Amino acid sequence: MQWIRGETIGCGSTSTVSLAIPKKGSDHQCLPMMAVKSCSVWDSSLVENEKEILDELGSCPYIIKSFGDCCSFENGVRFYNLLLEYASGGSLANRVKQAGGFLPESDVKRYTNSILKGLRHIHANGFAHCDIKLHNLLLLGDDEVKIADFGLARRTGQKQSRAEIRGTPLYMSPESVNDNEYGTAGDIWALGCAVVEMFTGKPAWNCKPETNVMALLIRIGVGDELPTIPVEMSELGKDFLSKCFVKDPRKRWSAEMLLEHPFVCTTTNDHSVVSLKPRQRSCSSSPTGPFDFPDWVCGQPSPTTSESWSIRAVESRFGSLTSPADRVRRLASDQTCNWSRSVSWVNVR
């Protein structure tokens, strides 16, 4: 592919990103303006890894496309070049700054939905991104967000040959700090950090710029401390983040499960957030018998009610997700339950 290098639009530790315009008269002139990620051929392992993974992932509307690679010789230096889809809207990090330091929750929900769809595709194909953050989430001209920068991505299940810090410390998960484990669950933790940063304009971990990296990693890996969930968020948003910020990666929700959460999949006609508050009971006295609940609704709930995302609805599709104590606490709450399911009922006399 013949192309002309344009202005530099981004820089990384080992590579630069420039505009790339197909040459007039070339076979690829019909292609739109592209971005080219370039680095020295002697230090091209990350960019080559990105190319290989993008090829394996194939086409996905929520992931930046690859148009191929090539080598060039410029100013006495031999470069390895990866041609990519150009995101004219810049990164989500820039969008947050342009918006005054934070985004409205409606935008956060919309962007998060697209990011989750991209992660679902990545994870389903056996990879983990390992560096989800606002700088690696790019916006196209139609304001659609796509996941970019797969230099640190890896196939899940690979054994780590040595201890390493893979990714950005502020977005690292507890298992990556403690056990050198970088998998799909780590991407979900990082997504939660990105959601907090979109909503507040600040890192999910409340720390000063001069904070020592090792001190931050100790906070992430040791003890029960979790990233701060913004109090200004809706109850749906807080609940969504609580599914991302789970210390045990085995209990953390997956991208597939989170796409069923109403924070990203359910809105009303005016795009306002669906309330999480349980229905209020009209009776003021305690029930006197097992069937003394005239205000309970036993019919099939509407898909937009809180029952549609309750733990029972999720369990019916994905299996048990909580401990027995959690289920007892949920049953003891005043949230109404749907007793119409008959999957595991038995007849008694």
Q: What is the pTM of this model?
A: 0.74
Is 131 part of the annotated catalytic residue set? yes
Q: Mean pLDDT for each consecutive 10-residue tract of the chain (349 residues)?
A: 87 89 66 88 95 96 95 92 95 95 95 98 97 97 94 85 79 94 96 97 84 88 92 96 97 97 69 38 38 39 39 41 49 49 49
**What pLDDT was estimated at residue 17?**
95
Query: What contacts 208, CB < 8 A, 6 or more positions away?
Result: none
Q: Are 335 and 308 in contact (CB under 8 A)?
A: no
Beta bridge partners of 269: none
Residue closest to 54 by CA, chosen among 67, 72, 43, 37 = 67
**What pLDDT was estimated at residue 158?**
74
Number of other residues whose CB lies within 10 A of the CB of residue 295: 10
Any idea which residue has 């085995």 for tokens? 250
**What pLDDT was estimated at residue 51?**
97
Q: List the catalytic residue out of 107, 131, 149, 187.
A: 131
**What pLDDT was estimated at residue 22?**
83
**What pLDDT was estimated at residue 141?**
87
Q: Rounded to whole angstroms, what are the CA distances from 94 to 97, 100, 197? A: 5, 10, 12
**What pLDDT was estimated at residue 84?**
96
**Ordered DSSP codes for 298-324:** -SPPPTTSGGGGSHHHHHHHH---S-H
Q: Are 189 and 253 in contact (CB under 8 A)?
A: no
Angle of helix 235-244 relative to helix 184-200, nearest 10 degrees, comes to 150
**What pLDDT was estimated at residue 29?**
52
- Which residues define the annotated binding site for ATP? 37
**What pLDDT was estimated at residue 89?**
94
